[in-house]
Structure 1
Amino acid sequence: MPASDERRDQHDLFGKHRKRVAGTRAVGFCSAILSLPRSVMKTPERDRLPPAFRRIGWSNLLAQLSEQIALAAAPLAAVILLAAGPAETGWLQTAQTLPFLLLSIPAGLIADRASRRKLMVASEALRTLSLALTVLLLGLGQMNLSLLALLGCVGAIGTVCYSVAAPALIPTLVPRTRLADANRWLELARSAAYAGGPALGGALVGWTGAPVAYVLSTVLSIWAVLLLAGLPKEELAARTGRKLLHDLKDGAAFVIRHDLLRPILLTAVFFNIGWFCIQAVYVAYAVQILGLTAFEVGVTLGIYGAGMIAGAGIAPALARRVSFGTMIVLGPFGGFCASLLMLGTVWFPSPILAGFSYFLFGAGPILWTITTTTLRQAITPNAMLGRVSALVMTATFGARPVGAAAGAFIAAYAGAAACLGAAAIGFLVQLLVILLSRVPRLRALPDMA
């Protein structure tokens, strides 16, 4: 059979498989999304979050969904339309994540010196522009891999600025006692987008082609911009006239010296190293060692998003029963247990173990994200919230390529099983770091330093 015919057959089989997996996951996603408005409507008026936050909450849901659809459509478009291979899609993913490593700190400095509302509007508008240009180039048949990577990088710049500005703006709109509730809603929306966005994007690409997926992503992003534009103007802190480097030094010193923020930062770094050590080898390991089909691999990965939704959903009930410090520790503990389950598949190859592992990887860390974001917002002076959020994001996202590279290196020289063992050690370290700190002893949300 000629190589072109074989490639065409592989693409056809790949497309049929994507339709089946995406259709199954899209149903669950739609149910999760539809349940959000009903839950909000049932909330008593006195317990509702401020209208300004609700604007941010809905814009966050739309922006996250738009991003996940585009992130799913990009590699599919590269493979199906541009005949890209694994190396090309790897470089595409690198381009789409590089701004998180390079631009988080500059974005944080801007967030502490300018209007955070305007920064969020401009960031999402930039992402809208990159999506609209992608639609245009695809429609004209002028898209190539370099342009797809460039536009994905531009869109990621908008995502970075949005992600840094939002946590810094929310404490100015939400009472301190409601910060945990606000962060839970944001994480619940993000979880729903992570669970269903890739399925919806894959289904649209498989059924109607990449342009339609990007059109929907663009429309959702425009909607998010309109919601953000309606936010009230915030009062800006007086300019100090200090240099950017001095501001950055102050933010770093605050995190390093703080006995609560420092262990949280180190825990997040080790968690991400271990997590991406697993991510680097899981697909190949699942197919070659566990004997999973492509469909079963997709199901186990989709369970991760389901775990995120479950974790965000039970957060209020847990918060009423355990201390604030215990809530924080549940995230690293869940990650460690999940890594042991994944390591257990070396001796007991089972898709059930792998799926349960991914569920815990989603459920535990989402509790960590909600509680540590709330803690960071409560104890950090508002004037440096942007810088502190940016430093945390840079350290944690910077650890991801380190973990992926470590996983690839260990797997190449010692095998995938050794890689899973190394990841479990990393998860043990992150659990010990947080357990040996003052964080577990927190009974309630502490006061600002």
Structure 2
Amino acid sequence: MTPSPARPPSTAADGGRTPWGALRRHRPFLLLCGEQAASSVGRQITALALAMLAVTRLDAGPFGASALLALTYLPGAVLSPLAGVLADRARLRTLTVTLTSLQVVVVASVPLAEALGSLALPHLYVVAALSGALTWTLSVALQAALPRVVGPEQLLTGNSALTGARTTGMIGGPALGGVLVGLVGASSALLAGGAAYAVEAALLFALPASLNRPAEPAGRRGPRLAALREGLAVVRAEPVLRRQVLAGAGFNLGSGAADALFVVYANRELALPAWQLGIVYAAFSVATVAGVLLAGRFATSVELYRATRICAVVAALAIFLVPAASLGLAFPALLAYQLVFGIAATVWAISMTTTQQLIAPHHLQGRVAGFAQAALLTTVPVGALSAGALAAWLGNVPVLTGAAAAALLAASCFWLPPHRTGTAVRPPAP
């Protein structure tokens, strides 16, 4: 099945008002925004606390820290296609509430294990893997939910607003996580992460009951294998999606390697204090706000696919600032990296997600999102584990430089000699 490239109408469905003007009074969409903010706080605190526990409390080296990151992404790479089938066929509201409630239990197991005196590195690995499986399954489900909540002419604005809501949590999340780690310890800080997930579950429970109607009616369902093939056929048949997925997967190989070494590199080689590390992470969130504000106008003016091409290269070039921090002025260099990378990566992500949602058929939104997410996540643990192993042999700076080069090479795939990439997907003017 070959879907025709989507061209949403140029007029808003709310009688001439702007898409954002309608979304501000759209209760289900506002609940999704609140969920994104709460989820972001929970993820930021959890990621920072787990990494600090592994490095400072349990003496994990570069490979150990890389394995922790890899286990966060690996379940998404394996399970995302199946999560797509589940999202298309399940009661979405019930599914999202269940996934988020399980996150509370998984995260809370760490402070419980410490209280019992049984906390060990394998426990953190299990928590990272389970939390990753829940996070990425929820991500697919929410990507499938948005086109059922807003109209096609509101998708670009909706994705920008949801990214902005995530950023609201990301700005305070790392700083809050750093403060909590300093005051009560990394393990106890995870209790705040669990509380954020509980708020997220309550917001999802308030979504309309209409989301519990499966996108794919029971009468037209075939075997799961055939359902997976149907979703894969959309990605393979549409050149725009295919090139986005291939370039994004290669980019994530390099950026995943850099992310895996970032905490160990900043903590041990650059001797960055915890408060500076928290500010560096928060700088990415501030940059994301700028990316959210730029995404709609930029993607509208240059068209979505071209916005992806430009921002991919800029984001890859920014990664070179990480190894450059070892030459001096480490704190400003890492701040600049997070700011430039944050803006470019945000516009890229919003453009790519909107393109995908515009192209995918209604009853296949989950499967298309699942296959795209699986491809993008598969290379992250590969890059993370490779970086950990190579850094123990070559050192952090050479591996970080190679990671940046790999990301740039992948992003450059967008600029290979012209070929047919389908009709340009252009959103309506804001």
TM-score (ref. length: structure 1): 0.78
Among 421, 424, 430, the residue aligned to 1:442: 424
Aligned to 1:121, which of 69, 72, 97? 97
Alpha carbons of 1:160 and 1:279: their partners in 2 closer, same or farther (altered >3 Å)? closer
Deviations 1:268-287 (A, max 9, x none): 11111121233345566667
Give the drift of 1:231.
Answer: 1.3
Give the letter aligned to residue 159 of structure 1: T
Deviation at 1:424, TM superposition (A): 4.0
CA shift for structure 1 position 44: 7.9
1:238 to 196, 206, 217: 217
Which has the larger displacement, 55-64 or 170-179? 55-64
Residues 77, 433 of structure 1: alpha-carbon distance in 2 compared, 3 angstrom cutoff: closer
Q: Size of the alignment, in residue pairs?
A: 401
> 2:141 — aligned with what?
165
* Correspondence for 2:244: 264
Alignment of 1:239-388 (within 5 A): 239=218, 240-282=220-262, 293-294=272-273, 299-319=279-299, 321-342=301-322, 349-351=328-330, 352-388=332-368
- Alpha-carbon offset, residue 155 of structure 1: 2.9
TM-score (norm 2): 0.81
| Cα distance, 1:374 vs structure 2 | 0.7
Residue in structure 2 matching 1:52, options 28, 52, 69: 28
CA contact (8 A) 2:167 2:288 kept: yes
Matches within 5 A, 1:88-99: 89-99=65-75
Shift of 1:111: 1.0
> How far did residue 162 of structure 1 move?
0.8
Gaps of 5+ in 2: 1-18
1:31 aligned residue: none
* Matched-pair contact (CA < 8 Å) for 1:66–1:216: yes
Aligned residue number for residue 201 of structure 1: 177
Tell me what 1:109 maps to. Answer: 85
Aligned to 1:221: 197
Q: CA deviation at 1:159?
A: 1.2
Greater shift in the superposed pair: 385-394 or 274-283: 274-283
| C-alpha RMSD over aligned residues | 3.2
Q: Matched residues in 2 for 1:145 and 1:284: separation?
A: 16
How much has 1:150 moved relative to structure 2?
2.9
Please say if residues 130 and 152 of structure 1, whose CA atoms lie closer than 8 Å, have aligned partners that are also in contact: no
Match of 1:71 in 2: 47
Q: What 5-or-longer segments of structure 1 have no aligned partner?
A: 1-42
Distance 1:445 1:144 in 2: 50
The 5-angstrom pairing of residues 138-177 of structure 1 reads 138-141=114-117, 143-177=119-153
Q: Which moved more, 1:350-359 or 1:120-129?
A: 350-359
Q: Which is bigger in relative contact order (C-alpha 8 A, separation at least 6)?
A: 2
Secondary structure in 1 matching 2:378: helix
* Equivalent residue letter for 1:259: P
Deviates more, 1:310-319 or 1:434-443: 434-443
Equivalent position of 1:393 in the other structure: 373
Identity of aligned residues (%): 27
Asked if 2 retains the 8 angstrom alpha-carbon contact of 1:120 and 1:228, the reply is yes
Q: Tell me: CA distance 1:201–1:336, structure 2 relative to 1, closer, same or farther (3 Å).
A: closer
Instruction: State how far apart, in whole Å, the 2-side matches of 1:182 and 1:433 are.
Output: 28
Aligned with 1:260: secondary structure? Answer: helix
Per the TM alignment, residue 71 of structure 1 is displaced from its structure 2 partner at its CA by 2.2
